Amino acid sequence: MNRSSNHKALLPGTLIAAAAGLMISVIPGSEVAMASGDGQDSYSNLPAEIVLTGIVRDFNERTVAGGHTDFEQRPAAGFGQYMNNVADTLDEDGKPVFVGGGQKVSTQWRDSSGRNIHPSLYDASMGDSAGSYRSGTDDGGIASAESFSQWYRDVPGVNASMQLPITLRRAADSNMYVFDDRQDPAFSSLGGFFPINNQLLGNSAGETKNFHFTYELATEFIYKPGEGQTFTFIGDDDVWVFINGRMVIDIGGVHSAVNQTVHLDRLDFLVPNKKNTLNFFFAERHRTQSNFRIETTLNLRSAKL
C-alpha cells in the first residue's frame, strides 16, 4: 500500500548523519540522544551498524492457482488499520495467534509527544490522547486462525522461505538506529521494501515485483531503565511487535504506511539490565507499494528463530 508522510523531524530541521551517508528523520518525540555538537561522537562506543537476520516467506496471491486466501485480500470494512485480531501473547512456538473480532482504527492513541502508541500503553495522567475504533468488528482480511498460522511457518505447497538480513545504521552523534527501505543501499533502487523480486515463488501476477510475503525477526536486547529506550515501526501492511512475548505494537490490516512506537520505560514486565526479547512480524499482502522503516535506540541482536 502507499506510504503516508509519517517521517517528521524531532527537532527543527533534519538530523543528518553525514559520516554514515545517512539522512534520518524521526517520529515526533522520539527519545534519541544527541551529542553536544563539539565534533566528537559521544556514542562511538556503540556499533555503527546492527545486522539482523530474519526469515522471509513468499506466498502466491489468492487469485492464482494454489494462492493463499489472505494475500491480495480486501477487508470487509475496507482498507485501513485493524487492531485486536491477534492475541496479546505469542503461542508456545513463539508465533502470533489469530483470534479475530478486531476493530478498524478511526483515530490513533497518542502519547504526549504525538507518537502513535498501542492502546494498552495509553495513560491519561501522562498527557496521552485517546483514540477510537469504528463501530463493529472485522477480521482485517484474514480468513481464519488456520490460514494465519501459515504466515510465519514453513508450509510445503503454501509458501517458500529464505533467510534475509537487514542492516540498521546508527546516525552519527546519536544512539538511534534506522533501517529504511528508501535509504538502504540494497533497497533504495527498488522503489520500496521488495526483498524477493524474481526469487522463491516469483513475482506477483503481471508484475515486476513480488508483493506477497511475510518477514519475521527474533531479537534480544538489554533493557536499561530510565534511558528512554524506544522502538518504532513505520510502514505497511500488517506489523506486530512482541516484547517478552507480549504485544506492544499492533498495526494489523491492509493499509498505507502507519507508525506506532513503544516506550520501554512504560512496560512493567521487563527485566532490568538483563536480556529481554523482541519478536517482529511483518506482512506485505497487497499491491501497489511496500514500505518498511525501523527506528530504535535498542542495541538489538539476532536470536534463534
Where do the domains of the chain lie?
A: 15-302
Residue 21 has pLDDT above 80, yes or no: no
23 or 259, higher pLDDT: 259
Residue 23 has pLDDT above 50, yes or no: no
For 72, list phi and psi in degrees, rounded to 5: 70, 40
pLDDT of residue 41: 84
98 residue type, one letter: F
> Please, what is the average pLDDT of the chain?
89
pTM of the model: 0.89
pLDDT of residue 90: 99
Cα separation, 110 vs 130, whole angstroms:
7
Give the chain's radius of gyration (CA, Å): 19
The helix or strand, by DSSP H or E, that contains position 250, with its residue range, turns out to be strand 246-254
Which of 256, 251, 249, 8 minimizes the C-alpha distance to 113?
8
Residue 129 bridge partners (DSSP): 110
Residue 15 has pLDDT above 60, yes or no: no
Residue 190 has pLDDT above 80, yes or no: yes
CB 110 within 8 A of CB 116: yes
* Tens digits of residue pLDDT in 200-209: 999 988 889 9
Residue 249 has pLDDT above 80, yes or no: yes
Which of 121, 103, 102, 96 minimizes the C-alpha distance to 111?
121
For 125, list phi and psi in degrees, rounded to 5: -70, -15
DSSP at 2: P
Instruction: Measure the CA angle with vertex 161, ends 158 and 166; round to 5°.
Output: 140
pLDDT of residue 289: 86
pLDDT of residue 234: 96
* Tens digits of residue pLDDT in 121-137: 999 999 999 999 999 99
